[in-house]
A and B are shown apart, each in its own frame.
Chain A
Amino acid sequence: DIQMTQTPSSMPASLGERVTISCRASQGISNYLNWYQQKPDGTIKPLIYYTSNLQSGVPSRFSGSGSGTDYSLTISSLEPEDFAMYYCQQYDSSPDTFGAGTKLELK
């Protein structure tokens, strides 16, 4: 299985701050990388698919980039509703695997 190393595991941040979350795959995944947000109530929604495509309805302050083994999710200016868990998911090779998650916390 492809291992996804997601960093940091937690990140204290302030409103308006720019933050970046990273995922490194154990082998190249050809941009087959998605990002999800999980809110404190448990609901999960997609943010970014295929590395850099913004899901419909997701604010433009979210962006994704990367190639090869290294990928990142950036939030340009944190809003109150952005404090949540974030996960990357690779689907280059079955089984799909997820990163361990990043908890974005209010500083």
Chain B
Amino acid sequence: NAGVTQTPKFQVLKTGQSMTLQCAQDMNHEYMSWYRQDPGMGLRLIHYSVGAGITDQGEVPNGYNVSRSTTEDFPLRLLSAAPSQTSVYFCASSYSRTGYYGYTFGSGTRLTVV
């Protein structure tokens, strides 16, 4: 099925561990982004990319790295996990940054840092 695929769906990390959240889309979308969803705070933009080789910071980038080596993939790396990074993470893609056509979201990764 066409869309945005995120893995894993659930993850528990210990403080200080690192990991990579995977995101892949098969719609040839140029724009991809990562959000975190926390209760009462809606979705906050972590990092985004407007095309392969181009990434930029969003609203809450600290503690996270991204890269975009292909159009399809946009992994999010947690460098040294902290309890404050406990959240649900969503990857989204779109034909363009403007979002005119709306964003397509993955089903999310629920991360718990203990």
Q: Do A and B bind each other?
A: no
Q: Which residues of B contact A (CB under 8 A)?
A: none
